Amino acid sequence: GQNIDQPTEMTATEGAIVQINCTYQTSGFNGLFWYQQHAGEAPTFLSYNVLDGLEEKGRFSSFLSRSKGYSYLLLKELQMKDSASYLCATPSGAAGNKLTFGGGTRVLVKP
């Protein structure tokens, strides 16, 4: 089964960098997803890592280490609009086409 852990809440200053860690234990590995969810809204897809290493997408980067069961989402040059919850998720099910989510990390960006 899946066991996903991420911090509950983080606070950072506008313009700074924040790193959100996620550790997971899965019976079979098919990648690691990150989603962003603003308060009261649906989650939106940010990134998907299936191989080890860092993938960069503008101000957001995601890192994966399969041997350590560890991923992080890096948010650079923080903006107020980045205040949201960030959800880590791993595929589950026989075909790997379901997603099991962590509890989410709420990031509060302060001016």
Q: Which stretch binds another protein (CB under 8 A): 18-26, 58-66, 73-81, 85-93?
A: 85-93
- Residue 9 touches another protein, criterion: CB under 8 A: no
CA-wise closest residue to 104 among 27, 20, 12: 20
Q: Would you state the torsion angle of the CA atoms of residues 91, 51, 107, 99, taken in this order, to the nearest 10 degrees?
A: -10
As a whole number of angstroms, the distance between CA 108 and CA 96 comes to: 32
Which one of 11-19, 55-63, 70-78, 87-95 is the stretch in contact with another protein (CB under 8 A)?
87-95
Q: Pull the structure tokens for residue 96.
A: 């790997």
Query: Which residue shows structure tokens 């980045």?
Result: 82
Residue 97 C-beta: closest distance to another protein, Å: 5
Q: How many residues bind another protein (CB under 8 A)?
A: 21
Q: Is residue 102 involved in binding another protein (CB under 8 A)?
A: yes
Q: Which residues bind another protein (CB under 8 A)?
A: 30, 33, 41-45, 48, 87, 91, 93, 95-104
